[in-house]
Structure 1
Amino acid sequence: MLSVRNLWRRHRRKIFVTVGVLGSGYLLYKLYGAHRHGVQELERELAVQRESEELMKAQMQAHFENIQRISDVTLPLAMHDLSCRITEELDLSHLLERLIQGKGQPNALTQSEKLDLWSRLKILSFTRMTLSVWTTTMLNLYTKVQVNILGRHLYIDTARSLGISDSVESGDVVGKEDQKKFLDSVDFLSQHGMPALITDMEAATNEVLKGKQLSTSFNSTTLHETIMRILNTFMSKGTPNSWIKYMIPEDVKSFSTSSGSDDQVPSDVTEFEQLMMEAQAVLSSAEFGSIVEMSLKAVVDTLVELMGAKFSGGSVTAGVPLARVLPQVAQMCPLLLEEPSKNQFIQIIKNIQEVELFFTLLYANMPHA
């Protein structure tokens, strides 16, 4: 016992230090183990999160490609219907036949009748061309609006289905039937909006071409200014953005009821109506108005360049009588209304950087109710 006490007195400092070191080591070991366990848990959580994100991206891509495929079918069909409707409603053949008949039979038409026919041909030719410019541009832009609105909704729906809805807005899933119905609404222009559109475009053409005789000299600059003036006159008629009524119905609920299935439409807003109202909001925005203006100008620039190449010297810089310009005006319409895969004007719009940026931001920031 005495030896133990002596041993304790002599070595207690060393014992305390040793115990302290061992205790600290044990504590550090436990802390390290807890830290390593925490890191492993965090790594597992991050791996699960990455897996969820990859799954979401894959599902989003699949959804969006599906929508894009529907859109790729919708636009060509809409362009075909549009071309047929414009050709039918603004047929120039009867005017040309009468003028040719009058040329072959001098007594078949009076001078006054000839002037009336040429005047009508002048108005209808420019109406048909500017109408083709406007509708081609608007159909192309509108289908992009539709795809990006649907893409945004599908992003939200996919995120919610993967259980990460904390970071996205809540909302009802857009069913495939509503998706298709929304994309099919692009036909509203050719099926419902065309009569009023033709009337208003012809009125704008009459206003701009008033006083321009068949002998009036036209060069590339004059032609460009004339086309743009007709388009600007048309776009500025009525209340701001009144042209939207040619693209989508003013009363979405009425259109939804009449164009849908036999199922009873609920009194509250349906997914289709929500999509249509979002599209209407985009088309009414100042940003979209700028994109439309930019796209129309780009199309007209190329159109005038192509028409100028038809004349001797590759341009109309010297000026030619309006009567010689009219045949070229008529020939441009089929090019403007070609199917999208061959349509150089649609490609021109697609290549405008500001247009691409607009739709990127639309997809990223589209509000969802």
Structure 2
Amino acid sequence: MWSAMKDFLYRHRRKFLTTGIVLGSGIFIIKLIQYKLREFQERQAKEISERFKRMQHFESTERTCNQTIFGLSSTVSEKVLRNLNTTAILEKLRSNPDNKFELWEELKILAFTKIVTMVYASSMLAVTLKTQIHLLGGYLYKDTVDQDDKKVSTDIQSTYLSMIQYFMGNGMDKLIDLIRKNVSIVMQRYSLKQQLTLADAETLFWSIQMTLNNDEFNPTKCITKFTLPQDGLRGDIIGKMYDETLDVLESAEAADVCLSNVTNGFSLIVDKLAEYYAEAEQGQTSASTTKSSLNVDNLSNINHIKISVAKLIPIVNGLTSKPLGSLSTSPNGSNGMNGFDHRHIDMISSLVSRFMQSEKLKTLGVNVYETFCQ
């Protein structure tokens, strides 16, 4: 029997050998597949965990960024109102002086410079801080991944973020001077008696924007000239971060976001002015009328209503100023407000809130963060 089994195995040795190789190879392949699958799953789990961690860190950075923008917007507003204070002129006009025409001309420039500066300054603040904080956020995320080689110390963070203080001082001074110069050029075309429809008022702001766009130091393209210290920062890491911030803010994307915000800001101003045009159409004279009682959409002939530049000036000034009462006289001796109230609107908060909803601004933040967290 043993001899027969031996003969059987000998005759079929190739089959057994082949079968053994096939089975062995199959088991090896199965084990290899299982190992690769576990490796893939572990890698996927790690990537998902890192992505989730990065997403949480980004969302935290985004919240911090938005809070910082809103917090500093009040400082920007105070700077604008302090540098372009119209209180003294208003007080003089209430006394019906002999040079009231010259005072109204000066008030015209100040009122429009003030509201245009609010638009540009809030846009530039939003774009600059969105870039700075998300760039810093990217660096800090890399530090959390590689805790043994942290590059951004607390001192570096503080120094880097303090760069925005330049904008609050010299930067804003330069911006106000630039805008005042260009507003003066445009407003020379508008006499105090000139009648403007709402569309004409929109064209006026569009003209100011176009004039600034053609200026050598166009704020939307030269953001860094106003928002960052021109002498840079010293140090390997902080110097590198400064240069990278400069590159982002001088990019076409940043300029496009800033310009989009400015255009959006002027649209908001025209929306505010539409309420006053609606009141004029309805013949309302009560200063207690509220915005909620107005329905601009139902006023089909609002675009045919005209308001003189002299009457538009206190309205524009009132959009950025606290209530100071009505003007006593207009350039021709009549009541300066002519029934329009001098309500206070926190214009810069309204502007920043609208900018925060901009998909372009959000995308800029995402792109900067993703670039510098890799």
Residue aligning to 1:27: 21
Partner of 2:203: 225
Q: Which residue of 2 aligns with 1:135?
A: 121
Aligned equivalents of 1:172, 1:236: Cα separation in 2:
44
Detail structure 1 runs of 4+ shifted over 4 Å in the superposition. Answer: 154-162, 365-368
Tell me if structure 1 keeps the 8 A contact 2:73–2:352. no
2:139–2:373 contact (8 Å) kept in structure 1: no
Is the contact made by 1:63 and 1:154 (CA closer than 8 Å) also made in structure 2?
no
Query: Which residue does 1:318 correspond to in 2?
Result: 305
2:70–2:352: 8 Å Cα contact kept in structure 1? no
Q: Is the 8 A contact 1:205 1:230 kept in 2?
A: yes
Structure 2, gaps ≥5 residues long: 282-295, 297-301, 321-344
* Partner in structure 1 of residue 232 of structure 2: 252
* Alpha-carbon shift at residue 292 of structure 1 (Å): 1.9
Matched residue SS, 1:237: coil
Q: Distance in 2 between matches of 1:187 and 1:62?
A: 29
* Pick aligned residue for 1:351 from 332, 341, 357: 357
Residue equivalent to 1:262: none
Q: Where do residues 1-369 of structure 1 align in structure 2 (5 Å cutoff)?
A: 15-16=9-10, 18-102=12-96, 109-110=97-98, 113-157=99-143, 173-238=151-216, 241-253=221-233, 269-311=235-277, 312-313=280-281, 314=296, 315=302, 317-333=304-320, 334-338=345-349, 343=350, 345-365=351-371
In structure 2, what residue type is equivalent to 1:90? Answer: L
Give the 3 Å change call, closer, same or farther, for CA 62–287 of structure 1 in structure 2. Answer: closer
Counterpart amino acid of residue 266 in structure 2:
V
Whether the 8 Å contact between 2:69 and 2:129 is mirrored in structure 1 is yes
Percentage identity across paired residues of the two chains: 18
Cα displacement (A) at 1:80? 1.5
Superposed displacement of residue 84, structure 1: 1.3
In the TM superposition, residue 82 of structure 1 has moved relative to its aligned partner by 0.9
| More deviation, 172-181/77-86 | 172-181
- Structure 2 counterpart SS, 1:252: coil
Q: TM-score, normalised by structure 2?
A: 0.77
Preserved contact between residue 223 and residue 249 of structure 2 (Cα < 8 Å) = no
| Conserved? CA contact 2:195–2:307, under 8 Å | yes
- Decide which moves more: 125-134 or 269-278: 269-278
When residues 190 and 28 of structure 1 are mapped into structure 2, their CA distance, relative to the original with a 3 A threshold, is: same
SS state at 2:346 partner: helix
1:155 CA drift (Å): 5.0
* Separation in 2, partners of 1:247, 1:53: 37
Quote the RMSD (CA, aligned, Å).
Answer: 2.9
The secondary structure found in structure 1 opposite 2:230 is coil
Per-residue Cα deviation, 1:258-316 (whole angstroms, up to 9, x for no partner): xxxxxxx5xxx432222222222122122322222222112211210221112233445
Moved more, 175-184 or 304-313: 175-184
**Segment drifting more, 200-209 vs 144-153:** 144-153
Residues 287 and 245 (structure 1 numbering): CA distance in 2 closer, same or farther, change over 3 Å? Answer: same
Label 1:62 to 1:88 Cα distance change in 2 as closer, same or farther (>3 A): same
TM-superposed deviation, 1:99:
0.3
Helix, strand or coil at the partner of 1:290: helix
Distance 1:239 1:182 in 2: 25
What are the superposed Cα offsets for residues 185-204 of structure 1, whole Å, 9 maximum, x if unpaired? 33321123122211111111
C-alpha separation in 2, matches of 1:355 and 1:145: 10
**TM-score, normalised relative to structure 1:** 0.78
1:172 to 1:284, Cα distance in 2 relative to 1, 3 A: farther
TM superposition shift of 1:16: 4.4
Cα contact 1:74–1:184 (8 A) shared by 2: no
The answer on whether the counterparts of 1:133 and 1:296 sit within 8 Å (CA) in structure 2 is yes
Please give the per-residue CA displacement for 1:137-195, whole angstroms capped at 9, x wherever unaligned. Answer: 12122222223323443455555569xxxxxxxx9733344334333433321123122
Q: Is 316-325 or 64-73 further displaced after alignment?
A: 64-73
Change in CA separation of 1:236 and 1:294 when aligned onto 2, cut-off 3 Å: same
Alignment check: 8 A CA contact 2:222 2:250 kept: no
Look up the SS of the partner of 2:192 in the other structure.
coil
Query: How many angstroms apart in 1 are the aligned matches of 2:239 and 2:202?
Result: 39
Task: From the superposition, tell whether residues 66 and 225 of structure 1 become closer, same or farther in structure 2 (CA, over 3 Å).
Answer: same
SS in 2 for 1:272: helix
Amino acid at match of 1:119: E
Kindly tell me: are residues 347 and 48 of structure 1, through their superposed partners in 2, closer, same or farther at Cα, counting changes over 3 Å?
A: same
After alignment, is 194-203 or 64-73 more displaced?
Answer: 64-73
Distance 1:364 1:72, change over 3 A: closer
Counterparts of 2:26 and 2:144, CA distance in 1? 39
Equivalent position SS for 1:249 = coil
Alpha-carbon spacing, 1:211–1:336, altered in 2? closer, same or farther (3 Å): same
The residue identity in structure 2 corresponding to 1:251 is: D
Specify the code of the residue in structure 1 equivalent to 2:244.
Answer: E
Cα distance between partner residues in 2 of 1:67 and 1:46: 31
Q: Report the count of equivalent residues.
A: 326
Between stretches 289-298 and 143-152, larger displacement belongs to: 143-152
